[in-house]
Amino acid sequence: MDSSTSGGATMLKGAGLLAVLAFPLLGFSDYVLHIAISILLWGFVYTSWSIMGRFGLVSLGHGAFLGVGAYGTAMLWNHFGLTPWVGIPISIAISALIGLLIGLPCFRFRITGHYFALVTLALTEVARLLIVALRDQTGGSLGVTPVGMVSPENPVSLYALQFASKTVWFYIIVAVWLGGLLIWRAVDRSMLRYAMEAISQEEDAAASLGVSVTRTKLTVTVISAAMTAFGGAVYGQYQQYINPETVSGIAISLQIVFAVIAGGMFVQLGPTVGAVITLLLGEGLRLGFGHQFHGLDVMVYGLMLVLFIIYMPRGVLGKAIEVVTARTTRPSVQPGE
Amino acid sequence: MLTLENVSAGYGTFQALFGVSLDVRAGEAVAVIGPNGAGKTSLLRVISKVIALNGGHIAMEGRSLDSVPAHKVIELGIAHVPEHRRLFPRLTVEENLRMGGFVNAARSQFQERLDFVYTLFPRMKERRHQLAGTMSGGEQQMCAIGRGLMSGPKLLLLDEPSAGLAPVIVQQVFDLVRRIREEGYTVLIVEQNIQQVLKVVDRAYLLEVGRIKMSGPARDLLENEDVRRAYIGL
Amino acid sequence: MDFITDPFLWETVIQGLLFGGVLALLSLGLNLIFGVIDVVWICYAELIMLGMYTIYFLFVDFGVPLPFAFVAGILLVALLGAILHQLVIRPILHTEPINQLLVTGGVLFFLQGLATMMFSVEFRNLGVSFGSVEAGEMFFPVSRIIAFTVSLVAVGALWLFLKKTYLGTAIRAISQDRDVMPLMGVSPRRIYLVTSALGGGLAGLGACLLVLLYDIHPAIGLTFGPITFMVCVLGGLGNMIGGFIAAFIFAEFIALGGFYAEVEWGYVLAFVFFIVMMFIRPQGILGSRS
């Protein structure tokens, strides 16, 4: 992008940001706020996944990190009264450690592609099964609610990190979401990005150029794992209810992948667009058809994913950007020169 | 038997052959010689329809190859032994030979042809249950040629059979080609090893940068001043 | 040490063996597709799920005799396999392999949603029982013994097919060198299609057995899907015998885990074992590819 368009882009981003920040003040119902919060929260989770996914490290196991974040925080609070201010960092650390423990052997032994995806799949299923198996502590498949500290009379508990007001949550989640975007951009502009791209193209060549393949992949993995765990923890705090199906296991892991593919894996706002698509699709179908056509939303997701991979592997946002930049840029060097 | 008229072919925007015409008569052995990148492999590939024709015609025994898809070419009696052997590494020698005889027409003759190939290459018989990928380069070449013979072809296309092999083995390979000729097979062989191949064939074409520069009886090309200077280094 | 004489333990071990047979059969079709021609169908279990529903409806709603329902189920899933390849895999076959995983992930959602819409989330059961066989103090359901036997036969038959027939050899060849196939008179397109149908048919066979043993539900694919993949990979992709061995190892972990603790622990152990084995021997127990 040359200097004449980047000014315009910044203005667009600024306007967008203002719109987002002003959103709760427009008098929408709690339901609408809830949808907006969900979009941004899942947008954050999807962005976390895409930090790995964009470099070809396709993980089918991010459910495990979500679960560790959510259940870790909830369990520490419910059983030990440990404030989420401490519980969340602990859960993030555990998640990062798991990322390291799984990543290190995988990358050292060059386990990539399908095999890597399968190992991560096994991981997320292990997480889900452990949560169910430890049912006395975790509540098993029925799920669990963090011990509540707020009520209409007492709407804020900083110690418990619980808030009754959706508006408060909205701003918290916006901050989280923006944080995710900033981390994405930081990775995008760092040497990490170039190293990872070199690795995903031709690993041996990259290694011979002095890139520490294992360490680079591990860094990306740990960042992604930590962020996802944070997302899981925040989800638990906001939703005030978690169960093993929604925060671990293969289903949620696949949903994350789908959303990022649909929105655009290689663009900063792509995963967020993916969240918009999946959430609005789900809600739209539910409102439009009620419970009559239960399963239709999943069917449409699936169909869209198939069509996206075949015709638009860069996702909606990616394709849009591709189309726009093709029309507005002219090559400065003609072929043949 | 095989005629190429004015054949042009290439890969995408890169053109490898420009108006090549040649023919191979029944019972002959013909060589196409030339340097690296001349288009020799492309020539054989266009005959097998693995790459598409941009112009010109190819006919086998009068039948045009224009609309014949790659996997039907073998049914016309053309067997292509590809460059670098291309055996199936995790199949045994015998399984590779079986794949050579995959075409329906060849199946009823499988046992006879197998026995024939084993008489031609006794070492293949010894190694019949060995994984093809574990054999030496020379043995793989024998196996690849054997695989080509399994379909009972009228015309055998050999793509650089001596490539990457030690001189002693190269000798064996060309002796083999002689023997195959004695059995009556028609052979079109593409080679970089000009000295050896010209001793084994009747006629030869010189291909340079996708065009036929010279053609004639093998002996003539072998004794030709320009050829000797450029390619044999004398 | 009276676990040696504990009949319940032995019953568990043998039940595990029988279950291993079922897992082995389930993994056969997948091993053919994933292991032999190197295509990923993450929705493989969902194909089986549809087969199960087909058999159920033919038998329960239309009164079709069970053997015919089975045949119909197998044929339908074979057809689904071929369609899956033609419509979904072929367009992306020459792109990055991860796309196969993603696109069939979409099919997974699609089929699950379709099943939910068409059949609702109630659990359904074929309602057929063959009784149990008694051996000492141990009881073994006949249906499981049938499943185990069919598995053995199927593995043997598939192995013979791949080893001894032209088509079987061609299927094994294509994953080793696709481009050279036309020179042998083999159309790669046809081989992929035929193998996809065959893989689908084997999945259909799996459905026939599962429908005797378990309830049907649109999401059951998620219960045995991951484990089927792991069985294939652990055994060594493309190696049917390896898959058999891996299936038994998984089954015993699950059975014994359920015996000593709760059933989830068995699965946890099995999956952790898988992860560890991937680090120690990524090509699988009998695998040869690196």
User: Which of these, C281, C171, C232, C246, lies nearest to C42 by C-alpha position?
Assistant: C232
Find the mean pLDDT for residues B184-200. 88
Contact between residue A250 and residue A125 where contact means Cβ atoms under 8 Å apart:
yes
Indicate yes or no: CB of C173 within 8 angstroms of CB of B88.
yes
Mean pLDDT of chain A: 84
Please tell me the least confidently modeled range out of A162-171, A317-326, B169-178, C197-206.
A317-326
Contact between residue A64 and residue A127 where contact means Cβ atoms under 8 Å apart:
yes
User: Which of these, C189, C192, C198, lies nearest to C161 by C-alpha position?
Assistant: C198
User: Which of these, C112, C98, C91, lies nearest to C45 by C-alpha position?
Assistant: C112
Neighbours of A148 (CB within 10 A): 11
Q: Is residue C223 part of a domain?
A: no
Q: Between these two residues, A163 and C158, which has the higher pLDDT value?
A: C158
**Domain extent at residue A182:** 33-249
Number of domains, chain C: 1
Looking at CA atoms only, how far is residue A276 from chain C in angstroms?
18
Closest partner CB to A133 (pick from C101, C105, C264): C264
Q: Is residue C177 part of a domain?
A: yes
pLDDT at B193: 83
Find the mean pLDDT for residues C103-122. 90
Q: What is the ipTM of this complex?
A: 0.88
Q: Is residue A321 part of a domain?
A: no
Looking at the predicted structure, is the pLDDT value of residue A25 above 80?
Answer: no
Q: Is residue A22 part of a domain?
A: no
If contacts are CB pairs under 8 Å, which of residues 152-181 in chain C contact chain B?
166, 169-170, 172-173, 176-177, 179-181
Model pLDDT for residues C63-102, shown as the tens digit of each residue: 889 899 999 999 999 999 999 999 999 998 888 788 888 8
Closest partner CB to C105 (pick from A102, A257, A293): A257
> N- to C-terminal Cα distance for chain B?
35
Q: Is residue C288 part of a domain?
A: no
Coil, helix or strand at residue B125: helix
Looking at the predicted structure, is the pLDDT value of residue B94 above 50?
Answer: yes
Q: CA distances (Å), A331 to each of A177, A255, A318, A321, A325, in order?
A: 35, 38, 20, 17, 11
Q: Is residue C220 part of a domain?
A: no
Tokens representing A266 are 């290689």
User: Which of these, A236, A241, A229, A237, lies nearest to A69 by C-alpha position?
Assistant: A229
- Backbone phi, psi, residue C53, to 5°: -65, -40
Q: Is residue A23 part of a domain?
A: no
Q: Is residue A19 part of a domain?
A: no
C93 in A contact zone (CB under 8 Å) = no
Question: If you search the block for the tokens 């947008």, which residue do you land on?
Answer: A43
Question: If you search the block for the tokens 């396709």, which residue do you land on?
Answer: A58
Closest partner CB to C185 (pick from B95, B98, B103): B103
C31 in A contact zone (CB under 8 Å) = no
Looking at the predicted structure, is the pLDDT value of residue A265 above 50?
Answer: yes
**Domain extent at residue C88:** 9-215
Cβ-based contacts of C230 with chain A (< 8 Å): 118, 122
User: Which of these, A277, A284, A285, lies nearest to A317 by C-alpha position?
Assistant: A277
Looking at the predicted structure, is the pLDDT value of residue A185 above 90?
Answer: yes
What does the alpha-carbon distance between residue C261 and residue C28 come to, in Å, rounded to a whole number?
30
What does the alpha-carbon distance between residue A274 and residue B60 come to, in Å, rounded to a whole number?
57
Interface test with C, best of A126, A257, A289, A300 (most C CBs within 10 A): A126
> N- to C-terminal Cα distance for chain A?
23
What does the alpha-carbon distance between residue C27 and residue B13 come to, in Å, rounded to a whole number?
45
C182 in A contact zone (CB under 8 Å) = no
Q: Is residue C155 part of a domain?
A: yes
Residue percentage of chain A with pLDDT more than 70: 92
Q: Is residue A209 part of a domain?
A: yes
Find the mean pLDDT for residues A23-29. 78
Number of residues assigned to chain A: 337
Closest partner CB to A258 (pick from C105, C218, C272): C105
Looking at the predicted structure, is the pLDDT value of residue C265 above 50?
Answer: yes
Looking at the predicted structure, is the pLDDT value of residue A69 above 70?
Answer: yes
Find the mean pLDDT for residues C228-234. 91
Neighbours of C129 (CB within 10 A): 11
Confidence of residue B148 (pLDDT cuts 50, 70, 90): very high
Q: Is residue A290 part of a domain?
A: no
pLDDT at B229: 72
pLDDT at A3: 47
Helix (H) or strand (E) holding B29: strand B29-33
What single letter denotes the amino acid at residue A142? L
Number of domains, chain A: 1
Give the pairing type, strands B63-64 and B186-191: unpaired
Q: Is residue C130 part of a domain?
A: yes
Q: Is residue A189 part of a domain?
A: yes
Contact between residue B53 and residue B9 where contact means Cβ atoms under 8 Å apart:
yes
- Backbone phi, psi, residue B24, to 5°: -130, 125
Q: What pTM was computed for the model?
A: 0.85
Q: Which residues pair with A154 in a beta bridge?
A: A151
Q: Which residues pair with B31 in a beta bridge?
A: B189, B204
Model pLDDT for residues C17-42, shown as the tens digit of each residue: 888 988 999 999 999 998 778 888 99
